[in-house]
Amino acid sequence: MRWKKISDAVIRRLPLYLRVLDELSADPETELISSQDLGFRAGVSPALVRKDLAWFGEFGKQGVGYEVAFLRDELRRILNLDSELKVALVGVGSLGVALTRYNIKRYQEDNSFNLRLAALFDSDPKKIGIQIEGIPVFSIDQIGEKTEELGLQMAIITVPFESAQIITDMLVNAGVRAILNFAPTKLVVPEGVHVANADLSLELQRLAYYLQDEE
Amino acid sequence: MRWKKISDAVIRRLPLYLRVLDELSADPETELISSQDLGFRAGVSPALVRKDLAWFGEFGKQGVGYEVAFLRDELRRILNLDSELKVALVGVGSLGVALTRYNIKRYQEDNSFNLRLAALFDSDPKKIGIQIEGIPVFSIDQIGEKTEELGLQMAIITVPFESAQIITDMLVNAGVRAILNFAPTKLVVPEGVHVANADLSLELQRLAYYLQDEE
């Protein structure tokens, strides 16, 4: 099922709620959570929590709150995280290696973290064939073949901006439909493919806005 | 000056527009840009471009478009990027080092990129005193002292999640008012301090939503 009209701002908050519910699930005593408490822990107002969740159904009971385990399972289903998703990373430079370590650590420590980095790609012959944290590095010429063979669905791009679009085209042609882009450039993708920009410089520039003196 | 009511969604798009205008500034032939063209290059609808910019004044002329150099300067001013801002990074692990390299490369290649990484901090005695890409690594005990001495205004946090809040408290006490957080945890900050979350796992979880079959 797909909820067509839900804005990305809503989707962006769902993983924050899921993180809180995952943490609470560790404690069997906590069966219920109020929108106040969930909002406080996620850094979102209680009214917005209720509004966001109402897009997807009736999860809470007035005056009682949400059932932690139930809401957690529902959010995982809504976010498509109830089964393992395989992720590719293209560009095994220092950022690519750091993100690989980060992802693998996360995947190993958290049973419910279903995003598994399954293949790395690079154009440097010295890197092709090695493994990083146990993940093999393939040639970018193998993107099509390995995407099908390994069932890769998402990709992280950490190549220089000059190569980002051509790598994107290769990934899209291979069937990848969600891309997390760390290259400082805008990627052009066909409809049905989703790009999230994780360009550090854009984030820092945005943050600079908030340094202005309050009146 | 500060425009109180402008939503973060608007602020988030301004650096995208600025990137387009920076690229166009390299070509002295391009003096004007339409909202159509600016929108296309930034990946935003023309109507939204006009609406976003209208929050800050009358920048365009109907039927003519925006003056590239003027709009660029205005956006830099609005985003507080018209003078250099000094940035700290706390947590010199593999992600911290990768982001340091990325930032320094960006700073060296782009004259107008005014976000300068000026100090690194870590708790590991083996790292304190070394330099990475020419940037010194200080002890986290020196956060207060160095923030004042070097005029650090923003910080990037790449420490494990267990230490993220205590590091945040130290930075906030030292006067830092904008934090880019890579640690997978929610940071609690007082009013007037702004946190942007760059947690990779949250971004990937959000993207997974868009993998669902279209109807």
Q: Which residue of B has its CA nearest to A11?
A: B206
CB-count exposure of residue B205 (10 Å: 0-12, 13-18, 19+): buried
In three-state secondary structure terms, A92 is: coil
Q: Is A110's pLDDT higher than 80?
A: no
Nearest CB to A205 within list B81, B194, B200: B81
Give me chain A's average pLDDT, please.
90
In three-state secondary structure terms, A56 is: coil
Nearest CB to A206 within list B103, B184, B196: B196
Q: Which of A13, A102, A204, A213 to mutate to test the interface with B (most CBs of B within 10 A)?
A: A204
> Within 13 Å, how many C-alpha atoms sit on residue B44's CB side?
23
Q: Is the ipTM of this complex over 0.90?
A: no
Contacts of B12 in chain A (CB under 8 A): 206
What confidence score (pLDDT) does residue A186 get?
Answer: 86
Sheet of A65-67, strand order: A32-33, A65-67, A60-61
Inter-chain residue contact A12 with B206, CB threshold 8 Å:
yes
Q: Give residue B85's pLDDT band: very low, low, confident or very high (50, 70, 90).
A: very high
Inter-chain residue contact B212 with A2, CB threshold 8 Å:
yes
Contacts of B92 in chain A (CB under 8 A): none
Q: Is B6's pLDDT higher than 90?
A: no
**Segment B80-99 mean pLDDT:** 93
**Segment B123-134 mean pLDDT:** 96
The amino acid that residue A3 corresponds to is W
SS (H, E, C) chain B: CCCCCCCHHHHHHHHHHHHHHHHHHCCCCCCEECHHHHHHHHCCCHHHHHHHHHCCCCCEECCCEEEHHHHHHHHHHHCCCCCCEEEEEECCCHHHHHHHHHHHHHHHHCCCCCEEEEEEEECCCCCCCCEECCEEEEEHHHHHHHHHHHCEEEEEECCCHHHHHHHHHHHHHHCCCEEEECCCCCCCCCCCCEEEECCHHHHHHHHHHCCCCCC
* Residue A176 host element (H or E): none
B166 close to A (CB below 8 A): no
Contact (CB, 8 A) for B47 and B58: no
Dist. CA A79–CA B201, nearest whole Å: 13
Q: Is B159's pLDDT higher than 80?
A: yes
What confidence score (pLDDT) does residue B127 get?
Answer: 97
Sheet of B131-132, strand order: B131-132, B135-139, B115-122, B85-90, B152-157, B178-181, B194-197
Task: Identify the structural domains of chain B with CATH numbers, from first to last.
Answer: 8-78 (1.10.10.10), 85-203 (3.40.50.720)
The residue length of chain A stands at 215
What confidence score (pLDDT) does residue B108 get?
Answer: 83
What confidence score (pLDDT) does residue B215 get?
Answer: 41
Inter-chain residue contact A16 with B200, CB threshold 8 Å:
no
In three-state secondary structure terms, A124 is: coil
**Segment A119-127 mean pLDDT:** 97
